[in-house]
Structure 1
């Protein structure tokens, strides 16, 4: 019995002696490459050494979801094991060294609590899915050294805010920033280009959908060096309102279902508009130059309605296209039942500054403001002005004729009304008052006197005086001891219709018993 008990105690002693050593080794450190080691301490996992990390033993250990910070030390050049820290549930910070050549595939994919990840300034590319579904990542800063951002690299980084700056030598692959809902602006560095193959009217790129469904994106600036905006590049960016396309861009696509777009002016360099380029932009007013050679199928003027799994295109009722009249544009409008507005024909211009004027005895030539498709035209440079019937009371004419780049003619009218008169005196009488005014010597047929017990002339009564030579009138049958508000205006009868001056300033008088 004693011998048996001694054996049991010996076994227990051996277990208690070796078990902690095994657990301790599993949880703290080890090798992860020929010259690389890792260590876990105080919720921080540090990889140090040099060269390549080709193993990620920490992924299979119980400590994995206790990691809150990852530090890759200077000297590490590659991490070849995919998903090195993917699904690390509590990871919040990650620091990568300047020696690292690229960000590996899915290295931090689905680290939902990751808030900060500083990228090295010399990094060459960011691999596919590197930060996909890092919902808490606060900021995305792309170093100028990056030559390529691979597909879905920052897919669903929904908390990344502010302006996203894309360096000129960086290729942005498809879905790279899909569903980055909090980015408000995308700016491409001048010199940025899209790498593509082309047979003049068709082109092939690997950058479609790069910024798809960035729900809070409001502004995009396209530099002159970016010759192509690829198909679906900004598709479904529902808050996008401000698009600046610089002179030099040749092919425009990529704005499908940008439902908040209201106005875009295309530069003269644009030659091609891709299929469905602006489909699903129901509020868009597009202004284009005559240099456009091709407009793709369903490119403009269509809304997309979800029916089952598919977006079905329907023509937008009343859709207008502004441009210079040329075959490609007018043919597209004709084929699709849209309205074409020639932005170089002044007959389509809006003219302001032609309100009613008062007779002066001299020719009246009001200054006008002429706008066409959002552009304010310059007098004597873009158009000339001719006035007629603009001296006497009646309807005057203004004729605008296009000049230089602009063509066509538009005629507008304005009223010349009688010269206003004014009350000179009001005298009180028994249940009456007498009004005196300045007489108009010319271009007047008579006058109207209006009076009321309310200062806003509510329930006012009007008395007409049919001779312009009359300068006074007594108004009778009024209430005794009552205050009246009085005003007067002149009129001229033209073709049986009265044309009035403005009302005079009001005066008051109180009747007697």
Structure 2
């Protein structure tokens, strides 16, 4: 009996040992890395997680798989591994499905034929080493980290589309450190950002020199620092209707950016956001609260600025020519440092409702001979303004005309000492007249102040006019109220339908005597009308009509080489057989050189 018990105990111990060994083996298998190849794809399975690590297939249009099966078990694919598609120069289109959360370093490096990228998922941020030109540490440079290094260089264009449901564009996604001349950057030409996206991460499109058009959805609230810096082919952009903050250097170095539309949700334009751009006209929205240092530094073609809100005072360091503290001087702090130098004239208009001209807004600390001051020539201040802050126009040497409304009560210090050709237009017996006398500046009266029962000025017809009207062809746009109207046809007011003004995102002479024109589409419209002329007045214009709201592109043909053409677009809605038009887009110009 005892012998049988010992045999039974020995047998139990034996099977228990086998169980332990089997369990350890199973743990080892689970921890081991398994490589599996199928249909041109290579997968790596580690700890129950699958990653696609290589593609050797022959397809030109590729969608990253959502799942793979190994030994009868299905695995969800979450990542595209490092260098997965590197040197796949036959691929023309790639789709990143919803479950992918990570793109590895150099994942699409040297995919030179890539012309279309569709991203349907929220991706993790990419490596900050993507913007390092060189590094003391091996592997910490752009060439070994940029996800889209030298991508699309042999394709006619590269369009990036983010799917509805994507909420964030990751930092450094398309960034490289390469300069334009080295030709190894990401050649993305067009980006479509849906309303679901809330934030564009820092450096997301940094050094995308070929980027020509951006559609920013109405869900975006933050455009982070350096997001679109050095996109030198970008000509125009319109902020989404909910953009609250434009980050530091966000569009810095976009040297061909000459058209900018800001909507009424924007609160802050951060430091150097539009440094070195070619902006010509800026309408700052009523929602804007702060212009930070260097926001429009070196915008030398700027000729018209409209201000519709009460802005915070600017930094007094704007007038410092030198300082014991590094970066504490005019070049680094002046909001409008070296602006308008190539414009000829430069007009600043404050609209009715603004109550203060911020201190040091247009100030610099440099001598006239250095030619880096703000080249304002004309300023219009309405009746609603009661105060001009200290040094608001300090060292504006080119200032010739200052029109001051009847409401002014306080004019700060250090205002006009460096404006030798200035004439002030204002009211007799006003603070403006007193200031002109003190500074020995010529004064021209526009009338006498007529107090009303409430004690406020009741004089109209002064330099303190109400809303400022900006002409865009035959349509008009009122800066103060932002209401639009069109005077180009009798049918324009026959319907209560409201149509937004189209935004021209691209106008480029690419082929012989042809211009490619793109604009924002309006789903509620019935179609679009395009006009172009060799004259800015649109005399002898030609008109094209597109009877579809889904088409936002046209090629204008048989243009004259060597001539400059002016182009505008408007949408229309047909109701009961009658057309209602939007106002015209901002006019864009293009010179035919090919």
Alignment partners' CA distance in 2, 1:80 and 1:34: 21
5+ residue gaps, structure 1: 1-19, 195-205, 303-315, 349-371, 383-401, 408-513
Q: How many Å apart are 1:128 and its aligned residue?
A: 0.9
> Retained in 2: the 8 A contact 1:212–1:234?
yes
1:38-77 equivalence runs, <5 A = 42-44=90-92, 46-56=94-104, 59=107, 64-66=110-112, 68-69=114-115, 71-74=117-120, 76-77=121-122
Alignment partners' CA distance in 2, 1:144 and 1:318: 39
1:139 matched to 2:218: no
Where 1:99 maps in the other structure, the secondary structure is coil
* Residues 446-493 of structure 1: per-residue CA shift (max 9 Å, x gap): xxxxxxxxxxxxxxxxxxxxxxxxxxxxxxxxxxxxxxxxxxxxxxxx
* Residues 58-77 of structure 1: per-residue CA shift (max 9 Å, x gap): 53x8x644451453453x22
Of 287, 290, 293 in structure 2, the residue corresponding to residue 225 of structure 1 is: 287
Pair 270,67 (structure 1): closer, same or farther in 2 beyond 3 Å: farther
1:102-501 equivalence runs, <5 A = 102-110=168-176, 111-194=185-268, 207-215=270-278, 217-246=279-308, 248-249=310-311, 251=313, 254-259=335-340, 260=343, 261-267=345-351, 269-275=354-360, 277-279=362-364, 280-288=373-381, 291-296=386-391, 299-302=393-396, 316=397, 321-323=402-404, 329=411, 331-333=413-415, 341-345=423-427, 404=459
Q: TM-score, normalised by structure 2?
A: 0.45
Q: How many Å apart are 1:288 and its aligned residue?
A: 3.7
> Retained in 2: the 8 A contact 1:78–1:101?
no
* Residues 314-342 of structure 1: per-residue CA shift (max 9 Å, x gap): xx388665536978537434766867744
Alignment partners' CA distance in 2, 1:331 and 1:170: 33
Where 1:146 maps in the other structure, the secondary structure is coil
1:35 matched to 2:128: no
> Retained in 2: the 8 A contact 1:36–1:47?
no
Alignment partners' CA distance in 2, 1:291 and 1:31: 64
Alignment partners' CA distance in 1, 2:239 and 2:221: 14
* Residues 231-281 of structure 1: per-residue CA shift (max 9 Å, x gap): 322221111112122255565773221123522133462424343624312
Q: How many Å apart are 1:146 and its aligned residue?
A: 0.7
> Retained in 2: the 8 A contact 1:113–1:134?
yes
Alignment partners' CA distance in 2, 1:223 and 1:272: 15
Pair 159,301 (structure 1): closer, same or farther in 2 beyond 3 Å: same
Where 1:94 maps in the other structure, the secondary structure is strand
Of 142, 154, 162 in structure 2, the residue corresponding to residue 96 of structure 1 is: 162
Alignment partners' CA distance in 1, 2:256 and 2:206: 15
Greater share of strand residues, 1 or 2? 1
Alignment partners' CA distance in 2, 1:36 and 1:284: 58
Q: How many Å apart are 1:177 and its aligned residue?
A: 0.7
> Retained in 2: the 8 A contact 1:35–1:49?
no
Q: How many Å apart are 1:170 and its aligned residue?
A: 3.1
> Retained in 2: the 8 A contact 1:123–1:145?
yes
Deviates more, 1:36-45 or 1:116-125: 36-45
> Retained in 2: the 8 A contact 1:157–1:180?
yes
Deviates more, 1:80-89 or 1:238-247: 80-89
1:394 is matched with which residue?
none
Aligned-pair Cα RMSD in Å:
4.4
Number of equivalenced pairs? 315
Where 1:117 maps in the other structure, the secondary structure is strand
